[in-house]
């Protein structure tokens, strides 16, 4: 069987670091919007121009990709993805939502811990035509949107 891991040796995983309270510009406690036993959701550190306030849902455990995802973790991620999409619709007043999830470099994966993108969608936002226009978002701009989703979700936001 072909190897299914692309994680480099000694990889420092940002989604695991956030759970250990190791913070930097792209990983702040104000980014966390919901935590369950097996999954958590955070505001994304990078947004596309027509879709501000995008979020990521990840398993708590360090699982690289969909191929190796234990079913219980997969269920937890999908359940939380649903809640985040509903919260986004209520909090942002967006016209729709989209999810996407990437596996392996050929699938555009670039963080080696599985994550589901949840995007607020707006009529004619051209999300899929503007793939190269994403930008990194500052801490306070992320916190504003995270606060809206936290309020809509009313779920735990700490890892303890």
> Of 7, 13, 89, 143, which lies in the binding site for Zn ion, with binding defined by CB under 5 A?
13
By CB under 5 A, residue 62 contacts Zn ion: yes
CB of 73 to Zn ion, least distance (A): 12
Q: Where are the alpha helices (DSSP H) in 4-108?
A: 14-19, 71-92
By CB under 5 A, residue 139 contacts Zn ion: no
By CB under 5 A, residue 111 contacts Zn ion: no
Q: What percent of the residues of the chain are helix, what percent strand, and what percent coil, each to the nearest 5?
A: 35, 20, 45
CB of 14 to Zn ion, least distance (A): 7
CB of 115 to Zn ion, least distance (A): 10
User: Would you put residue 92 in left (φ > 0), alpha (ψ -120 to 50) or beta?
Assistant: alpha
Task: From 118, 151, 122, select the one nearest 47 (Cα to Cα).
Answer: 118
By CB under 5 A, residue 42 contacts Zn ion: no
Which DSSP category does 104 fall into? S
Closer Cβ to Zn ion, 62 or 147, answer by number: 62
Q: Which residues would be at the binding site for Zn ion (CB under 5 A)?
A: 13, 15-16, 62, 113
């Amino acid at each position: 069987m072909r190897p299914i891991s692309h994680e480099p040796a000694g990889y420092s995983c940002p989604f695991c670091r956030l759970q250990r309270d190791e913070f930097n510009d792209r990983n702040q406690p104000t980014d966390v919007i919901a935590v369950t036993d097996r999954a958590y959701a955070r505001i994304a550190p990078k947004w596309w121009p027509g879709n501000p306030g995008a979020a990521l849902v990840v398993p708590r455990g360090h699982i690289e990709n969909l191929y190796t995802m234990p079913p219980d973790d997969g269920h937890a991620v999908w359940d939380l993805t649903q809640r985040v999409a509903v919260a986004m619709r209520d909090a942002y007043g967006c016209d729709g939502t989209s999810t996407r999830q990437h596996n392996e470099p050929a699938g555009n994966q670039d963080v080696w811990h599985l994550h589901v993108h949840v995007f607020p969608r707006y009529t004619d936002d051209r999300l899929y035509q503007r793939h190269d226009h994403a930008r990194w978002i500052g801490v306070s701009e992320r916190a504003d949107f995270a606060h809206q989703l936290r309020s809509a979700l009313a779920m735990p936001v700490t890892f303890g």
